[in-house]
Amino acid sequence: MSEQSSALKAAPNSGRREPGISPSAQSMDDNFVQIVDVVKKFGETTAVRGVNLSVKKGELFALLGSSGCGKSTLLRMLAGLEPVTEGQILIDGEDLAKMPPYRRPVNMMFQSYALFPHMSVESNVAFGLRQEGVKGGELKDRVNNALELVQMAKFAKRKPHQLSGGQQQRVALARSLVKRPKLLLLDEPMSALDKQIRQRTQIELVNILDQVGVTCIMVTHDQEEAMTMANRLAVMSEGQIVQLGTPHEVYEYPNTRFSAQFIGSTNLFDGNVVEDEPDHVFVESQDLPVRLYVSHGITGPLGMPVTISVRPERIALTRKPPEGAYNWGRGRVTNIAYMGGYTLYHVTLDSGKVVVANLSSLAIGEIDSPTFDDEVYVRWSASAGVVLTS
């Protein structure tokens, strides 16, 4: 990073207490943004229902959910574009309730980028600073620093229509960062970009935000985007947070059917608990001829209805019946989708249940490339499944 862009840099917070930092200061960093019992109503409709959330200083946090789940409403309340019906929002210990949007230490980058078409790149980036009365050498230096940080300094004299979608996004980001906000809000930041550009830009954006060290909350319905970019994420449904954790935690250990199906894809087997111990559970299901065996307990009563989630990449295909008395079924290949690096196999079991298996090219070669209507067996290990009780 250049000397010019270093003016924007702040050390990102790792979430671990550094030597010399008091526990109270560490606690403030861990609760840099606090959303406390927040409710938002539009007339008789409740869009956000008692949300509680803490975001760490320097963290890139994602709010993930389908349209209408309340994530954008929550973002707009943080920005001050919507009033809070009930509850509190605090940034760095400061209550935002009575603070107008223009006074909040928050900047928001909109989905459309909202660049002024008649202004040059540098004028777009300078606009907010000019509104605050910044002039002369300070204005020029801060604009140059921001443009250099996003690698757009050589396009400073161009107009927005002369830029690609990815370049426009960088200008919008520079305009947001130049005001040195305590909190940056991103509303569907990649939705206007083509998939190939979007994937590359996700990494670039994470690197820029890491250099600056700004705390960031982004809203997206794109699970891949959230998994790629966020340190932690919250899955929202019907105005509530249904699961919170790192991308790895939420993907590998979903806590509800909704989370399991919304983050990635999964196979769900409904059944009833027939044995529950601290280190394992057995479930009987009409979907399979054998019991389901999961290597963790649930502390539930016998007969309790549950669902077992098994990700497609955890399922193997074989030509021969598997050994063992659990976690397998027989069926026929009913659909094949070649995805380049892997192939999706849809196998309809004897019970009528459709199981999806994600196989790498190496794995396919080992079982002699099954094709349509071939008889195969699906199987998975005891550690591949997660028991869902809701």
What are 229-244's pLDDT values in tens digits? 999 999 999 999 999 9
Of 221 and 232, the one with more pLDDT: 232
Residue 109: the pLDDT is 86
Residue 169: the pLDDT is 85
Q: Which of 72, 32, 19 is nearest to 48 (CA)?
A: 72
Residue 7: the pLDDT is 38
Residue 379 carries which side chain, given as an amino acid letter? Answer: R
The CB density around residue 257, as the number of other CB atoms within 10 Å, is 17
Residue 35: the pLDDT is 97
48-74 pLDDT, tens digit per residue, is 999 999 999 999 999 999 889 999 999
Mean pLDDT over residues 368-372, rounded?
87
Residue 153: the pLDDT is 93
Whole-prediction pTM: 0.85
Residues facing 106 on adjacent strands:
183
335-344 pLDDT, tens digit per residue, is 999 988 899 9
- Given a cut of 80, whether residue 222 has pLDDT beyond it is yes
Residue 102: the pLDDT is 83
pLDDT-based confidence at 166, cuts 50/70/90?
confident
Residue 341: the pLDDT is 84
Those residues with Cβ within 8 angstroms of residue 67's Cβ, 6 or more apart along the chain or in another chain:
221
Displacement of CA 218 from its chain's centroid (Å): 8
By the 10 Å C-beta count (0-12 exposed, 13-18 middle, 19+ buried), 204 is classed as middle
Mean pLDDT over residues 18-35, rounded?
68
SS3 sequence of 179-205: CCCCEEEEECCCCCCCHHHHHHHHHHH
Tell me the three state secondary structure of residue 2: coil
Token readout for 242 is: 């249904």
Residue 25: the pLDDT is 54
By the 10 Å C-beta count (0-12 exposed, 13-18 middle, 19+ buried), 195 is classed as exposed
Question: Among 13-17, 177-181, 258-262, 332-336, which stretch is predicted with the lowest mean pLDDT?
Answer: 13-17
Those residues with Cβ within 8 angstroms of residue 347's Cβ, 6 or more apart along the chain or in another chain:
317, 331, 332, 333, 334, 354, 355, 356, 357, 376, 378
Of 37 and 9, the one with more pLDDT: 37
Phi, psi of 25 (to 5 degrees): -65, -40
Alpha helix stretches (DSSP H) within the chain: 23-30, 71-79, 121-131, 136-149, 165-177, 195-212, 223-229, 247-252, 257-262, 361-366
pLDDT-based confidence at 43, cuts 50/70/90?
very high
Those residues with Cβ within 8 angstroms of residue 82's Cβ, 6 or more apart along the chain or in another chain:
40, 73, 76
Residue 11: the pLDDT is 36
- Given a cut of 80, whether residue 388 has pLDDT beyond it is yes
Strands across the sheet containing 86-91: 45-55, 33-42, 86-91, 94-95
Those residues with Cβ within 8 angstroms of residue 348's Cβ, 6 or more apart along the chain or in another chain:
331, 332, 334, 354
d(CA 106, CA 108) in angstroms, rounded, equals 7
Residue 261: the pLDDT is 93
73-94 pLDDT, tens digit per residue, is 999 999 999 999 999 999 999 9
Q: What percent of the chain has pLDDT over 90?
A: 65
Could you give the angle at the alpha carbon of 236 between the alpha carbons of 71 and 358, nearest 5°? Answer: 120
- Given a cut of 90, whether residue 364 has pLDDT beyond it is no
pLDDT-based confidence at 24, cuts 50/70/90?
low
Token readout for 84 is: 């809070």
Residue 142: the pLDDT is 93
Mean pLDDT over residues 358-379, rounded?
87
By the 10 Å C-beta count (0-12 exposed, 13-18 middle, 19+ buried), 22 is classed as exposed
Q: How many CA atoms lie within 13 Å of 387's alpha carbon, on the beta-carbon side? A: 26
Displacement of CA 221 from its chain's centroid (Å): 8
pLDDT-based confidence at 15, cuts 50/70/90?
very low
- Given a cut of 90, whether residue 256 has pLDDT beyond it is yes
